[in-house]
Amino acid sequence: MVSENSQFAIETVSLTKVFPDWWGRAKVVAVDNLDLQIKHNEVYGLLGPNGSGKTTTIKILLSLLHATKGSAYVLGGSSREAKISSRVGYLPEESYLYKYLTARETLDFYGRIFGLAAKTRKGRIETLLDMVGLAPMANRAVGTYSKGMARRIGLAQALINDPDVLVLDEPTSGMDPIGTRQMKDLILGLAERGKTILLCSHLLADVEDVCDRIGILYGGRMQMEGPVDSLLQKTDETQILASGLSSSALEKIKSIIAAEKADCSITSPMDKLEDFFIRTVSEAQRRKEPTSGAVNSGEISGFLKEEHAGSDDVLEKLVNASVDEVVSAEVEATTTEVAEVAKKANKSVLDELTQSTVADVESESPRPTVPLDDEGVSTSEIKEDVLNKLIGESRDE
């Protein structure tokens, strides 16, 4: 396969990786028949809980692991070929740098490994050091760096060859919020310059902000895949966003919308990626799909139980109620709130929206957001608050 002609920048064909035990018996299926197709100039986010096979997939793509079955192509070939690996940049999940080298020496070493000419190398090193903000301490040994600083050097070495394909494993782990912001901006900037980026992370907010497409792995299988927008969009529901509503305004809106729908923005409500992610994973868990990663059983370890059973009410509750249930109950509660509002709104009955819905929501909500028995608060204010609250809950957080 000639790389230029290949349709996908990264492609796996029924990729399977089984880790054997010491005797060679198959023990853990880390990746199971994975078909991954990442187009050129796409930012693809590979998501999944711990142990879902993200890093294993990346390692196979980079030829650090051999596939048990199936094949993995980067730029149409194996990343073991020098002409392909010279166009790939890789940032591993941790900084695997030589502690005794300074930042500049580190970049120089990797530049030499890439076979860059001295002039190009020197120029790029200075630019990269500036870019990641380490130029002032470039002559300090990497071993003295904090995790975030080491991460920046890791990023710099991944970019030193001006790669076409960038593989980032947990790019923002260990970075401060500013670093995270810069990393995201950088990813977007690189995507603008035509790079293909495969990133895997469980910091969902990062993925949501930068990725064109995401895939959620669980148990080594692709559970869900698609463009971020369409995955998070609920096409059968409509949400009306409004702000600064007074009771009279609401009345007006009711009539205006009924007449011409002028002042209302009607959009599809967005899930937080977080909710979506948790739902996908817990569905997979409910189907009892096998995984080599952590599965939250909801059970608390035996020794904890013995020690505290019966001694403390709160603890007992914790012990008995599965953590999973708590989480999913909360998730469902939030989604029902939104869904209820949305469904009713979809009927475009402002009466219901302003009166009964609020009451409904109030009575159904497990977490009373409005002090109901406060008689000094007018109904319209309550409605307003509730709306804002609901909208806020679904948009921000």
Tell me which residues touch other proteins (CB under 8 A). Answer: 19-22, 27-28, 59, 62-66, 79, 82-83, 85-86, 88, 90, 92, 94, 96-98, 100-101, 109-110, 112-115, 154, 157, 161
Query: How far is 273 from 99, CA to CA, in rounded Å?
Result: 37
Q: How far is the CB of 25 from other proteins (least distance, A)?
A: 10
Residue 288 to residue 113: CA distance in whole angstroms: 45
CA distance 352 to 365: 17
Nearest to other proteins of 97, 228 (CB atom) = 97
Q: Report the alpha-carbon distance of residue 386 to residue 368 in Å, rounded.
A: 10
Angle of helix 103-113 relative to helix 118-131, nearest 10 degrees, comes to 140
If the CB atoms of residues 13 and 141 are measured against other proteins, the closer one turns out to be: 141
Q: How far is the CB of 374 from other proteins (least distance, A)?
A: 59
Q: How near is the Cβ of 99 to other proteins at its closest, in Å? A: 9
Specify the residue, 24 or 136, whose C-beta has the smaller distance to other proteins: 24
Using the minimum distance from each CB to other proteins, give the nearer residue, 85 or 365: 85
The shares of helix, strand and coil residues in the chain, as percent rounded to the nearest 5, are 45, 20, 35
- Give the Å distances, CA to CA, from 254 to 242, 246, 263: 12, 12, 10
Q: Shortest distance, CB of residue 41 to other proteins, whole angstroms?
A: 21
Phi/psi at 390 (5° precision): -60, -50
Strands 43-47 and 196-200: parallel
Q: Which is nearer to other proteins, 157 or 334 (CB)?
A: 157
* 114/276 with CB nearer other proteins: 114
β-pair partners for 307: none
* Phi/psi at 237 (5° precision): -130, 155
Give the whole-angstrom CA distance, residue 252 versus residue 256: 6
Please, which residue, 96 or 303, has the CB nearer to other proteins?
96
CB of 62 to other proteins, least distance (A): 5
Based on the number of CB atoms within 10 Å of its own CB, is 357 exposed (0-12), middle (13-18) or buried (19 or more)? buried
Provide the minimum distance between the beta carbon of 94 and other proteins in the complex, in angstroms, as a whole number: 8
Minimum distance, C-beta of residue 59 to other proteins, in the bound complex (Å): 5
Longest pairwise C-alpha distance within the chain: 77
Measured from the CB of residue 97, what is the shortest distance to other proteins in angstroms? 7
The residue (of 23 and 303) whose beta carbon lies closer to other proteins is: 23
Joined together, the tokens standing for residue 239 give 């949400």
SS3 377: coil
Dihedrals phi, psi of 296, to nearest 5 degrees: -80, 105
3-state secondary structure of 270: strand
Residue whose CB is less far from other proteins, 81 or 332: 81
DSSP labels for 146-212?
-HHHHHHHHHHHHHTT--SEEEEESTTTT--HHHHHHHHHHHHHHHHTT-EEEEE-S-HHHHHHH-S
CB 347 within 8 A of CB 257: no
Smallest gap, in angstroms, from Cβ of residue 146 to other proteins?
A: 18
Please report how close the Cβ of residue 240 comes to other proteins at its closest, in angstroms. 50
Q: Give min distance, CB of 117 to other proteins, in A.
A: 9
Rounded to whole angstroms, what are the CA distances from 225 to 244, 261, 389? 38, 35, 31
**59 vs 383, which CB is nearer to other proteins?**
59
349, 357 Cβ separation under 8 angstroms: no
Is the Cβ of residue 113 or residue 188 nearer to other proteins in the bound state? Answer: 113
